[in-house]
Amino acid sequence: MTEKRKKSGRTKTPHYEGSLITNRKGFGFVECPELEEDVFIAHSRLNGAFHKDTVRIELLKNPSGRRMEGRVLKIVERGIKSLTGSFQRVKNYGFVVPDNTKVADDIFIPGGYEKGAKDGDKVVVSIESYGGNGQKPEGRITEVLGRPDEKGVDILSVIRGHELPEAFPEEVKKAAEAVPAKVYAKDLKNRKDLRRVRMVTIDGEDSKDLDDAVSLSKKGSDYILGVHIADVSHYVKEDSVLDREALERGTSVYLADRVIPMLPERLSNGICSLNEGEERLAMSCIMRIGKNGAVKEYEITPSVIKVNRRMTYTAVAGILDGDEGLRIKYKKLVPMFEEMAELAVILKKMRSRRGSIDFDLPETEIILDEDGHVTDIRAHERNVATSMIEQFMLSANETVAGFINEKELPFVYRIHETPDADRIEDLLELLRSFGYKVKGKAADIKPKEIQKLLAGCVGKPEEKLIHSLALRSMKQARYSTKCVGHFGLAATEYCHFTSPIRRYPDLQIHRILKEVLSDKLKKKRRAHYEGILEKVAKQSSDRERRAVDAERDVDKLKMAEYMKDHFDEEFEGVISGVTGWGMYVQLPNTVEGMVPIAKIPGDDFVYSEKDYALVGRFSKRRYRLGEKATVRVEKIDDMLHTIDFELVCDNVRTAKRGKKGEKGRNKARRKQ
């Protein structure tokens, strides 16, 4: 925050800096780190600012509503240099309609700046002028991606729109080629030899970058859990071309038809992948865990390992569910898997006792054919094996974070701050509207209390909805050099240690750990890390958000594509959102669409904020969050990738009320 003072010494209105988020309606919000809530900026007070710009603002002394309002004083830094969209030709000039629905204006393209684009083409446009004061933004087309229905053009548009790097630069490829393809004797110095310890990798069927292996044995009533993570830092040296590229990318990005990796394939699928039967360098966290789930002692050490078997979640779940064929095939490993399942239950109960929140929301799985078209969309449910590995990784991450925090050394933590009281209050009001008894104040909420509330709705129709809304009420987890804990996990110390192939913070953490363990983190090196880790944490958080946004955009466009083939079908879903302009309905396969309020039959409906419902003015019919709704596809917007549903009124009670409501609505129209 900056403050301006008059010569008299009196303080003027304080100024804040933050990131501007706009939308198609023209107004925006600024996210300021110092303020608890976003600041509303009316279109007339944007002062030429564009979506994602870093801006300096001042707050209005007399806002028109309850929330903070402000005006843009200065554009500190432009956030978008180029964007993707659909080209629309008008005589000898044209416009690009941005794919990003948060960008308020179309981009004017003067004649001669079209680069041969045809009407309807997907293009990349470089912004030459950002407009403002009644002027449209202007730009030039720099790349024609192709027709919207051509194979891969839709996803390529998302990649370009989020400025995701695809091909690695030549110097990075050469550096990757120079990395050894096997482990040499010289690499084993000062490493714990774990090659005779029985261990496995457990991943999805299609996974190729296997960066974690697990081992387990018992000593009395204690479990000796080993979490062994690929030692990527041995091959990716600090400030090398590989390291700089990895930092710039920040994370691997997983899209429907491809992976954009953080590291070149020679490393991620080769020497850094813990492939079955091959010697690999690792960082191992070996924990002795008691029957109450507490870590009694641990060892963190560089190691050399050899994975015995490459297992899949499906196979391990089958073994634990009693599949006789799989139990015979993996006979020697079955006892270890059963002990792993025992320990996972113990760890989960321990975390539950302390208040860890398990949202358990299914991920979307999109199935494509060879031409990139969607053949199926389904909810990818977790099984006993995915939960098991998740518990083991959490234990390793907490142990490593606690080890460093105790020494008060520079580090990159994974933090999840306490949610804002007003958002929690909204969640509590929703729960009360469903009949749940809620005690205490939102400002004093603890993870344990939210966990109890979520547990109370298990098995009920509103379960998934409440879990989803509870997740939305939380702050975003992020990376930080400060150890402030993880609210959702109810953990006082947490970090990301377990995925250095696909996340940069994990790679950076491995370097710090090795220096600490070898007693090389002296004053000079400590000062070095103190100087760079703030940037690493912030950039890694930014890159993670970019990846998540891109993945969501791809899911959204593929869902819209899929539903085009299902116009005549009826679906039973759940009302997942209620607003002043309509209600959102989510189908069992995770596809979500909106029923516009004007098209809900039988009455005039208005939004009741208090009841989180749409209420008929005359019939008093209510559509509430969590209720079932039968819908069919009415319209799909090819540019915005949105789905409009129409409500199917197929029960007698609704139909009867609908007649009464229709009569009342006609009467109201005559009065207008």
Instruction: Encode pLDDT of 52-80 as tens digits.
Output: 999 999 999 877 767 789 999 999 999 99
User: At residue 145, what is the residue type?
Assistant: L
Closest by CA to 251, choosing from 211, 196, 310, is 211
Whole-angstrom distance, CA of residue 586 vs CA of residue 578: 12
Q: Give the residue-averaged pLDDT of 501-520.
A: 97
Q: Give the residue-averaged pLDDT of 564-585.
A: 91
According to the model, what pLDDT value does residue 213 have? 98
Tokens of 146: 């192709």
CATH assignment of 567-671, given 3.40.190.10, 2.40.50.140, 3.40.1500.10, 2.60.40.1250?
2.40.50.140
Whole-angstrom distance, CA of residue 189 vs CA of residue 281: 11
Whole-angstrom distance, CA of residue 602 vs CA of residue 100: 35
Whole-angstrom distance, CA of residue 311 vs CA of residue 388: 13
Helix, strand, or coil (residue 111): coil
Tokens of 385: 């094996």
352 φ/ψ angles, rounded to the nearest 5 degrees: -65, -40
CATH topology classification for 15-77: OB fold (Dihydrolipoamide Acetyltransferase, E2P) (2.40.50)
| 31 neighbors 54 (Cβ within 8 angstroms) | no
Whole-angstrom distance, CA of residue 672 vs CA of residue 670: 6
Residue 278 pLDDT exceeds 90: yes
Looking at the chain, how many residues does it have? 672
Least confident of 47-51, 52-56, 264-268, 469-473: 469-473
How far, rounded to the nearest angstrom, does the alpha carbon of residue 518 sit from its chain's CA centroid? 35
Whole-angstrom distance, CA of residue 336 vs CA of residue 334: 5
Whole-angstrom distance, CA of residue 69 vs CA of residue 29: 9
Whole-angstrom distance, CA of residue 350 vs CA of residue 148: 51
Helix, strand, or coil (residue 243): helix
Q: Comparing 489 with 24, which gets the higher pLDDT?
A: 489
Q: Comparing 633 with 467, which gets the higher pLDDT?
A: 633
Whole-angstrom distance, CA of residue 182 vs CA of residue 353: 44
Angle at 125 between CA 122 and CA 131, to 5 degrees: 130
Q: DSSP for 170-212?
A: HHHHHHHHTS-SS--GGGGTT-EE-TTS--EEEE-TT-----E
- How many C-beta atoms lie closer than 10 Å to residue 89's C-beta? 15
Question: What would be the CATH architecture of the domain defined by 82-161?
Answer: Beta Barrel (2.40)
Place of tokens 């913070």: 505
CA-based Rg of the chain, rounded to a whole angstrom? 27
Sign of CA dihedral 157, 160, 166, 169: positive
Residue 403 pLDDT exceeds 50: yes
Question: Per DSSP, which regions of 60-154 are E strands?
Answer: 69-77, 82-90, 93-98, 107-109, 122-129, 138-146
209 φ/ψ angles, rounded to the nearest 5 degrees: -100, 90
According to the model, what pLDDT value does residue 132 have? 75
| 196 neighbors 308 (Cβ within 8 angstroms) | no
Residue 667 pLDDT exceeds 80: no
* Fold match between domain 82-161 and domain 567-671: yes
Angle at 559 between CA 555 and CA 565, to 5 degrees: 155
Least confident of 283-292, 454-463, 579-588: 454-463
Cβ neighbours of residue 511 closer than 8 Å, sequence gap 6 or more: 233, 238
Whole-angstrom distance, CA of residue 517 vs CA of residue 190: 10
Give the pTM.
0.88
Q: Give the residue-averaged pLDDT of 292-314.
A: 97
| 201 neighbors 276 (Cβ within 8 angstroms) | yes
Tokens of 509: 């953490």
Residue 657 pLDDT exceeds 70: no
According to the model, what pLDDT value does residue 12 have? 64
Least confident of 293-297, 360-364, 522-526, 565-569: 360-364
Whole-angstrom distance, CA of residue 308 vs CA of residue 304: 13
Q: Comparing 611 with 507, which gets the higher pLDDT?
A: 507
Going from N- to C-terminal start, the domains of the chain cover 15-77, 82-161, 194-417+475-556, 567-671
pLDDT band at 360 (very low <50, low <70, confident <90, very high): low
Tokens of 29: 């919000």
Residue 230 pLDDT exceeds 90: yes
Q: Give the residue-averaged pLDDT of 482-496.
A: 96
474 φ/ψ angles, rounded to the nearest 5 degrees: -80, 160
| 55 neighbors 115 (Cβ within 8 angstroms) | no
Helix, strand, or coil (residue 79): coil
Residue 201 pLDDT exceeds 80: yes
According to the model, what pLDDT value does residue 606 have? 94
End-to-end CA distance of the chain: 51
Tokens of 14: 């304080």
Cβ neighbours of residue 205 closer than 8 Å, sequence gap 6 or more: 312, 314
Task: Give the count of alpha carbons within 13 A of 496, CB side only.
Answer: 25
DSSP 266: I
* Mean pLDDT (the chain, rounded): 90
Whole-angstrom distance, CA of residue 270 vs CA of residue 177: 11
Q: What percent of the chain has pLDDT over 70?
A: 94
Residue 615 pLDDT exceeds 90: yes
Residue 669 pLDDT exceeds 50: no
**Total H helices, total E strands in the chain:** 14, 31
Query: Cβ-count burial of 207 within 10 angstroms (0-12 exposed, 13-18 middle, 19+ buried)?
Result: middle
Whole-angstrom distance, CA of residue 111 vs CA of residue 94: 7
Cβ neighbours of residue 615 closer than 8 Å, sequence gap 6 or more: 605, 606, 607, 608, 621, 622
Residue 431 pLDDT exceeds 90: no
Structure confidence by residue, pLDDT tens digits, 113-171 = 999 999 999 999 999 999 877 788 999 999 999 998 898 899 999 999 999 999 999 99
Whole-angstrom distance, CA of residue 50 vs CA of residue 129: 11
Helix, strand, or coil (residue 9): coil
Please list the alpha-helical segments (H only) found in 46-169. 153-161
| 223 neighbors 341 (Cβ within 8 angstroms) | no
Place of tokens 């924990």: 287
Whole-angstrom distance, CA of residue 508 vs CA of residue 247: 9
Closest by CA to 235, choosing from 177, 284, 191, 286, is 177
Place of tokens 């959204």: 556
- How many C-beta atoms lie closer than 10 Å to residue 598's C-beta? 9
According to the model, what pLDDT value does residue 438 have? 72
